[in-house]
């Protein structure tokens, strides 16, 4: 082995490893094997990726945090960088520094001071350069002291469906890499990260899987979508579950078809979800209005990415709150949820179906690329107590779909279930569902009936989380996927006078927010968009105009470090 | 009209113009539904927007009267969620071939077991007389002031080319024959299209009852609709236009029959309970 400039590195508690290379080089395979292997070895894991909108070439990278304690947020810091191509270095230059150890093939990467490990050469010795990736997996596992047998057994398991020859070669590749890692740990890199036996039963799923599984747990039995990054993972996961779960998954010709199909499915007694991203959702807006008019429940998942138009197709943003909030002509109630974490994505995606069915309104699950593509170990979700709400009524002969009721919700029948007839019309309609142009009485009654549903919706609101100091002077406000990064930033700031108020139920807003705001001397809103869209909603709800804004809209998620730096001035001043 | 369970007992306010071809189509449809012995509780009428799309309002059965051009996606979903239902889509030439064109193309690929009646009056009626995708060349309208120069769409040729398994044309001028074609379309297993010639007495002064009569003829018994190439040739004929079943393919499995969800369990979705153990099993594999 030929060493580059040997440097003694010491890493404690929390290691950030970044793998980078061009699309098609196998970064995802490395990530998939490595994260599961390290988790089995007892380490807390967080992983997230950023990638370009192309099938081959460019630079994609994956960050894997390996820690003694639970970690759930993106760091800028890179402790160990494993570049598989030369272009990775300038791509990640803003995140690397003198404490970043670069490990890779020196003749290919050519970085000063890097540790030279000839992954490809070893791969070729095993018969194919493709094994280089698994050598890299073995090296990191060896570095972390993962048991050699666990390493080779898991690798063989991962390639179980491959021919025996490929399986054995990969096993050998991981073992060769492991040996290198063990030597590095002995001579060059000192890592002190405690193992946590408590995480053995933890699961690791992405936000995309959590939304899909939450929807299933909510009784979703009809998923329709048109593929669009970053929402596609929900479509793919639902398709993967479809045979076992006996659900219909349909790829529709366009998003207009998607939303109308989903509404038709609800009308016929299914629980349907449309899944898309901002651009696709823009096409659905007339359908949202239809759901509002005919009071058919609807669940729409919108995974945000930066716009306008095609924008940055594979990146993240919180820029579509206004789109979702105002989508659809006319006036009707809706509910907007924005999960703050993987666990919350499961809980709220499930809840969305009962909310939609109970209140007969469109319910939005607003996520983003960062949440879709991130994962960390988390305790197995409790599913024992979960039940799917039953809101459909068996109709009688005198059934009228839009019977006027005190709370605005009319019992919802479906065709074929009972002796009644179920009529729904996008025109203004009477109680029976027939077209009306009676502006003397019926029109007003129907508008008011639909809006009365807001009162019952408000009773179901999930209140925001207040975290940190009770007697805060500075109050940080965020929503959706920024929760973990904000929490970790707060922990790092370690101040006795800072708290955060974090929302995962965005609309309609609960009462009582003004009281939270009134207790603070300084309020800071933190959002992944350029104009503080949620801040505008808070102003509408409370009258408070939050002038302190930390906004990010370059397509990358907030990192813990940048939040610490940007929040700090607001704490010093207070 | 004799007693018909799909008719209303009370008089209803119908929003069509006096003399509109839609009345004849309604009579044919009511008779077809009655003669097929269908139960009202099992029939769902689906439509978009337009004068033809108001038909569900005037049939005493379930209806889903949705958005302009968007009848086919919900109709497909309704049948997919509950295959026990008879699903009939009512549309016009603008609603289906214009606004809904893309859904039409892809419905032909899915082949749901639903029936599509397109009231083809070669004009936009509800918006007061602009050209539709099937308006004949040269017709002047308040918008097409020079006369239509965009080639009219040929729904029959399009449908045959896409292998729509039941392709027919009827004429509102002949209620009995239209009823018979409708019955066969409803009974056909798979997607069936019936394009129904219909005069618009208010906005189309050219394609009148008389014009449709003079410019159409019925296919005779010797015609074989199962020969696709022959059907395509027939579909290309214009002025006079052939009436009757132009194309028939009994070998395409409908969408619902391809759905794995009905492979072992024929119950509609609303009758099923989701076993939560499946979530537990999937999650446990993620440790």
Q: Sketch the domain layout of chain B as residue ranges.
A: 21-284
Q: Are A468 and A499 in contact (CB under 8 A)?
A: yes
Q: Give CATH superfamily name and number for B21-284.
A: Thiamin diphosphate (ThDP)-binding fold, Pyr/PP domains (3.40.50.970)
Residues 6+ apart with CB under 8 A from B125: B50, B51, B92, B200, B202, B203
To the nearest whole Å, the CA of A185 is away from the closest chain B CA by 27
Q: How far is CA A41 from CA A45, A342, B10, in A?
A: 11, 22, 75
Give me the pLDDT at residue A2, please: 38
Sequence-separated contacts (24+) of B215-224 with Cβ below 8 Å = B215/B239, B215/B240, B215/B241, B216/B169, B216/B171, B216/B240, B216/B241, B216/B242, B216/B243, B217/B241, B217/B242, B217/B243, B218/B177, B218/B242, B218/B243, B218/B244, B219/B243, B219/B244, B219/B245, B219/B246
3-class secondary structure, B79? helix
Strand partners, B91: B118
Name which of A246, A250, A264 is nearest B75 (Cβ-Cβ). A264
Mean pLDDT of B254-263: 96
* A419 touches B: beta carbon within 8 Å: yes
Cβ-nearest to B65 among A245, A250, A424 = A424
Gyration radius from chain A CA atoms: 26
Q: How many CB atoms lie within 10 A of CB B285?
A: 8
Q: How far apart are CA A284 and CA A290, in angstroms?
A: 10
Q: What is the mean pLDDT of chain B?
A: 96
Q: Are A26 and A34 in contact (CB under 8 A)?
A: no
What is the pTM for the complete model shown? Answer: 0.97
Cα B124 to Cα B109: distance, rounded to the nearest angstrom: 27
DSSP three-state, residue B89:
strand
Q: Is A404 on the interface with B (CB under 8 A)?
A: no
Indicate the SS3 state at residue B97.
Answer: helix
Cβ-proximal residues to A284 (8 Å cutoff; 6+ apart), any chain: A255, A256, A258, A259, A274, A276, A300, A327
| Joined tokens for residue B11 | 């008089």
Does B83 lie at the interface with A, CB-CB under 8 angstroms?
no
Rounded to an integer, what distance in angstroms lies between the CA atom of residue B172 and that of residue B188?
21
Burial class for A40, CB neighbours closer than 10 Å (0-12, 13-18, 19+): middle
Contact in structure between A144 and A68 (CB atoms under 8 Å): no
Sorted by where each begins, the domain ranges of chain A are 14-199, 204-378, 392-458, 465-573
pLDDT given for residue B29 in this prediction: 98
Contacts B76 to A, Cβ<8 Å: 261, 264
**Residue B63 structure tokens:** 């209806």
B173, B240 in Cβ contact below 8 A? no
Can the peptide bond before residue A465 be classed as cis, meaning omega within 30 degrees of 0? no
Cβ–Cβ contact A405 with B under 8 A? no
Whether A197 and chain B come into contact, CB under 8 Å, resolves to: no
Smallest CA–CA distance, residue B242 to chain A, in Å, is 31
Please list, in sequence order, all residues whose beta carbon lies within 8 angstroms of the beta carbon of residue A443, skipping any fewer than 6 positions away: A428, A436, A437
Query: pLDDT tens, position by position, for chain A (574 residues)?
Result: 334 445 578 888 999 999 999 988 889 999 999 999 999 999 999 999 999 998 888 999 999 999 999 999 999 999 999 999 999 999 999 999 999 999 999 999 998 889 999 999 999 999 999 999 999 999 999 999 999 999 999 999 999 999 999 999 999 999 999 999 999 999 899 999 999 999 999 999 999 999 999 999 999 999 999 999 999 999 999 999 998 999 999 999 999 999 999 999 999 999 999 999 999 999 999 999 999 999 999 999 999 999 999 999 999 999 999 999 999 999 999 999 999 999 999 999 999 999 999 999 999 999 999 999 999 999 999 998 999 999 999 999 999 999 999 999 999 999 999 999 999 999 999 999 999 999 999 999 999 999 999 999 999 999 999 999 999 999 999 999 999 999 999 999 999 999 999 999 999 999 999 999 999 999 999 999 999 999 999 999 999 999 999 999 999 999 999 999 999 999 965 4
Helix (H, G, I), strand (E, B) or coil at B92: strand
Alpha-carbon span B255 to A518, nearest angstrom: 58
With 0-12 / 13-18 / 19 or more C-beta atoms within 10 angstroms meaning exposed / middle / buried, residue A430 is buried
Name chain B contacts of A246, Cβ cutoff 8 Å. Answer: 260-261, 265, 272
Element containing residue A145 per DSSP (H, E):
none
Q: Which residue carries 């006036």 as its tokens? A: A331
Segment B43-68 mean pLDDT: 97
Query: DSSP letter at A1?
Result: -
B89-100: pLDDT as tens digits: 999 999 999 999
Name the architecture of domain A465-573: 3-Layer(aba) Sandwich (3.40)
How high is the ipTM of this complex? 0.98
Minimum CA–CA partner of B264 in chain A: A246
Residue partners of A380: CB distance under 8 A and separation at least 6: A201, A202, A203, B283, B284, B287
The pLDDT value recorded for residue A573 is: 53
Number of other CB atoms surrounding residue A206 within 10 Å: 23
Q: What is the DSSP letter of B5?
A: T
pLDDT of residue A112: 87
Residues A503 and A527 sit within 8 Å (Cβ to Cβ): no
Residue A356: phi, psi to the nearest 5? -60, -45
Task: Read off the pLDDT band of B3 (50, 70, 90).
Answer: confident
DSSP tally for chain B: helices H, then strands E: 10, 8
Distance CA A100, CA A81 (A): 7
Assess contact for A287 and B67: CB atoms under 8 A: yes
Q: Which residues pair with A17 in a beta bridge?
A: A64, A80
Q: Does A336 touch chain B (CB under 8 A)?
A: no
Asked if A270 and B269 come within 8 Å (Cβ–Cβ), the reply is yes
Assigned CATH topology for domain A204-378: Rossmann fold (3.40.50)
C-alpha pair distances (Å), A321 with each of A173, A529, A535: 47, 9, 11
Out of B61, B102, B287, name the one closest to residue A421 (CB).
B61
- Of A19, A65, A28, A61, residue with least CA distance to A44: A65
B261 with A272: CB under 8 angstroms? Answer: no
Instruction: Provide the 3-class DSSP secondary structure of residue B64.
Output: strand
pLDDT given at position A57: 87
When pLDDT is averaged across residues B231-248 and rounded to a whole number, the result is 98
- Predicted confidence band at B2 (pLDDT cuts at 50, 70, 90)? low
CA–CA distance, A533 with A567 (Å, rounded to integer): 19
Do A465-573 and A14-199 have the same topology in CATH?
Answer: no
Q: Which residues of A touch B274 (CB under 8 A)?
A: 216, 219, 221, 245, 388
CA A217 distance to own-chain centroid:
17
Indicate yes or no: CB of A270 within 8 angstroms of CB of B270: yes
Per-residue pLDDT at B62 exceeds 50: yes
Q: Do A436 and A430 meet the contact criterion of CB atoms below 8 Å apart?
A: yes
DSSP H or E stretch at residue B242: strand B241-248
**What distance in Å separates the CA atoms of residue A180 and residue A177, rounded to the nearest whole number?**
5
B57 in contact with chain A, both atoms CB, cutoff 8 A: yes
- The class (CATH top level) of A14-199 is alpha beta
What pLDDT does residue A24 have? 86
**Do the beta carbons of residue B170 and residue B178 sit within 8 Å?**
yes
* Predicted local distance difference test score (pLDDT) of residue B1: 52
């Amino acid at each position: 082995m030929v060493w580059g400039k040997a440097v003694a590195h010491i890493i404690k508690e929390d290691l950030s490893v970044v793998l980078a290379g061009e699309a098609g080089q196998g970064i995802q395979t490395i990530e998939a094997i490595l994260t599961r292997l390290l988790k089995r070895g007892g380490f807390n894991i967080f992983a997230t990726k950023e990638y370009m909108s192309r099938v081959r070439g460019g630079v994609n990278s994956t960050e894997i945090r390996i820690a003694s304690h639970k970690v759930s947020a993106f760091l800028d810091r890179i402790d160990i960088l494993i570049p598989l191509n030369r272009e990775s270095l300038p791509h990640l230059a803003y995140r690397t520094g003198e404490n970043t150890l670069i490990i890779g093939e020196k003749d290919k990467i050519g970085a000063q001071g890097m540790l030279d490990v000839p992954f490809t050469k070893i791969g070729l010795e095993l018969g194919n350069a493709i094994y280089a990736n698994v050598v890299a997996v073995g090296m990191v596992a060896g570095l972390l002291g993962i048991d050699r047998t666990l390493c080779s057994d898991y690798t063989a398991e991962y390639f179980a469906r491959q021919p025996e020859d490929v399986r054995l070669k990969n096993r050998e590749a991981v073992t060769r890499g492991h040996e290198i890692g063990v030597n590095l740990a002995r001579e060059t890199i000192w890592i002190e990260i405690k193992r946590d036996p408590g995480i053995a039963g933890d699961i690791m799923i992405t936000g995309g899987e959590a939304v899909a599984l939450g929807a299933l747990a909510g009784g979703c039995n009809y998923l329709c979508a048109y593929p669009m990054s970053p929402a596609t993972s929900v479509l793919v996961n639902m398709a993967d579950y479809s045979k076992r779960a006996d659900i219909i998954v349909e790829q529709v010709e366009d998003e207009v078809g998607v939303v109308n199909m989903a509404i038709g499915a609800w009308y016929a007694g299914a629980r349907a979800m449309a899944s898309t991203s901002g651009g696709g959702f823009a096409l659905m807006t007339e359908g949202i209005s239809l759901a509002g008019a005919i009071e058919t429940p609807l669940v729409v998942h919108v995974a945000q990415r930066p716009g306008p138009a095609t924008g940055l197709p594979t990146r993240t943003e919180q820029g579509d709150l206004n789109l979702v909030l105002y989508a659809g002509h006319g006036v009707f109630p809706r509910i907007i949820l924005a999960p703050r974490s993987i666990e919350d994505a499961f809980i709220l995606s499930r809840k969305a179906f009962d909310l939609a069915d109970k209140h007969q309104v469109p319910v939005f699950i607003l996520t983003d690329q960062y949440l879709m593509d991130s994962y960390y170990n988390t305790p197995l979700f409790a599913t024992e107590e979960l039940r799917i709400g039953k809101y459909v009524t068996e109709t009688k002969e005198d059934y009228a779909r839009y019977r006027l009721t005190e709370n605005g919700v009319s019992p919802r029948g479906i065709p074929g279930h009972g002796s009644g007839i179920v009529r729904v019309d996008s025109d203004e309609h009477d109680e029976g569902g027939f077209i009306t142009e009676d502006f003397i009485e019926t029109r007003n009654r129907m508008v008011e009936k639909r809006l009365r549903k807001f009162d019952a919706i408000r009773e179901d609101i999930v209140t925001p989380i207040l975290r940190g100091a009770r007697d805060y002077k500075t109050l940080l406000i965020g929503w959706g996927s920024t929760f973990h990064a904000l929490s970790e930033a707060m922990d790092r700031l370690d101040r006795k006078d800072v708290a955060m108020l974090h929302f995962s139920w965005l609309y309609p807003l609960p009462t009582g927010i003004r009281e939270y705001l009134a207790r603070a001397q300084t309020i800071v809103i933190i959002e992944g968009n350029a104009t503080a869209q949620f801040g505008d909603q808070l102003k509408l709800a409370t009258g408070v105009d939050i002038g302190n804004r930390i906004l990010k809209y370059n397509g990358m998620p907030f990192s813990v470090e940048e939040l610490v730096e940007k929040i700090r001035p607001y704490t010093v001043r207070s | 009209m004799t007693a018909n369970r799909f008719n209303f007992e009370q008089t209803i306010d119908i929003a069509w113009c006096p003399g509109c071809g839609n009345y004849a189509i309604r009579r044919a449809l009511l008779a077809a539904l009655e003669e097929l012995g269908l139960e009202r509780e099992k029939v769902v009428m689906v439509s978009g927007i337009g004068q033809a799309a108001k038909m569900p309002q005037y049939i005493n059965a379930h209806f889903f009267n949705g958005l302009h051009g968007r009848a086919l996606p919900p109709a497909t979903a309704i049948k997919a969620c509950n295959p026990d239902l008879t699903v009939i889509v009512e549309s016009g030439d603008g609603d289906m071939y214009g606004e809904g064109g893309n859904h039409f193309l892809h419905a032909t690929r899915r082949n749901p077991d639903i029936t599509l009646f397109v009231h083809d009056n070669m004009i936009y009626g509800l918006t007061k007389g602009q050209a539709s995708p099937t308006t004949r060349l040269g017709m002047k309208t308040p918008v097409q002031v020079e006369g239509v120069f965009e080639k009219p769409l040929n729904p029959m040729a399009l449908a045959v080319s896409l292998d729509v398994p039941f392709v027919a044309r009827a004429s509102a001028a002949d209620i009995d024959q239209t009823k018979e074609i409708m019955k066969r379309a409803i009974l056909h297993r798979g997607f069936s299209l019936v394009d129904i010639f219909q005069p618009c007495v208010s906005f189309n002064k050219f394609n009148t009852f008389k014009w449709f009569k003079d410019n159409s003829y019925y296919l005779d018994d010797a015609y074989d609709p199962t020969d696709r190439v022959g059907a395509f040739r027939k579909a290309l004929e214009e002025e006079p236009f052939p009436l009757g079943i132009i194309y028939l393919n009994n070998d395409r499995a409908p969408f619902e029959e391809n759905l794995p969800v009905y492979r072992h369990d024929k119950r509609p979705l609303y009758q099923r309970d989701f076993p939560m153990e499946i979530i537990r099993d999937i999650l446990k594999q993620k440790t």
